[in-house]
Amino acid sequence: MRTCITATDSTDKAGEVLHKIPAARLRAFRSTVWRYWKKEGRHDLPWRKTKDTYRILVSEMMLQQTQVPRVIGKYKEFLQAFPTAKALAKAPLSDVLKVWSGLGYNRRAKYLHDAAKILTKNGVHFNKPTGLLKCTGIGPYTEAAVKVFAFNEPDILIETNIRAAYIHHFYSSVLQKTSITDAEILPLAQKAAEGQDPRTWHWALMDYGAHLKRSGVRNNRRSAHYTKQSKFKGSLRQVRGAVLRELGVNGAHSQNEVYSLIRTNKRIVQKALAGLERDGLIVKEKGKWRVS
């Protein structure tokens, strides 16, 4: 899961850790990251071949809680269907959800759809790195990522792979039971980023952290922000997705019809319907549920 924090979030403990780290160690860390990037970096990821703000935003929303291999194909499909923010804004939410289907966490699709409508209103397009925070569901990390990847402006991004890199190199000697916060990592990240190209440095960090995980480094649990993803099969997430697919493909259904189509515990279906309605993904009209 991706998050972003600011310099004001740093702690005294973090400052103490940074003070003890020799400059040579930070330089060695940079060299390691850059060396990996030059040899093994994922240079061909489609969202790394564009500086278009809208396309960067699409990729960032998709990459939240979803692995890169699953995103690649869906990213291309989504942009074929909605090549511009204006095209996305004009599309019905039901069409957006159909294309999004398979990525899960469908609220992200609605947030992206809403953002397109807000940011294209009155001819204002995605031509500035700020303003995204006005949109529901788009937080500081996403706005900072657009700032870095679309405009190459300096900021500090901390997400799961970047955490892995910093914890592995700078916290391996800290007691295993100690939880490392992003606020503690932030001063290190700021210092390491000095003088580096913002866009490429963060790509390199993400790829190097992903490489560490593939190599057997398992330090995510050491992060204070780690949350284990719940099992998907039989979960509320699965039922929510099933309900949306049925309503999107087959149109409006009464609640009893939904029960018949989604053959699972009725209480879970009720909870799914209530949650989807609360998120603005479905509405009930004349006794039938339909996609908003």
C-alpha separations of 173 from 17, 78, 111, 178 in Å: 12, 44, 41, 10
From residue 114, give the alpha-carbon distance in Å to each of 109, 120, 156, 205. Answer: 9, 10, 26, 31
Q: Where is 241: in which H helix or E strand?
A: helix 236-250
Cβ count within 10 A of residue 46 = 14
Which among 210, 208, 264 is positioned nearest to 236, based on CA atoms? 264
**Residue of 40, 60, 184, 277 with catalytic role:** 60
User: What is d(CA 35, CA 19) in angstroms, rounded to the nearest whole number?
Assistant: 26
- Measured distance CA(196)–CA(243) in Å, rounded: 46
Task: Check if the beta carbon of residue 282 is closer than 8 Å to that of residue 273.
Answer: yes
143 is catalytic: no
What is each CA distance from 226 to 98, 146, 218, 235, in whole angstroms? 31, 24, 12, 20
- Within 13 A of 111's CA, how many CA atoms are on the CB side? 20
Tokens of 214: 């593939």
How many angstroms separate the CA atoms of 59 and 52, rounded? Answer: 11
* E strands present in the chain: 253-254, 282-285, 288-291
Q: Which residues are catalytic?
A: 60
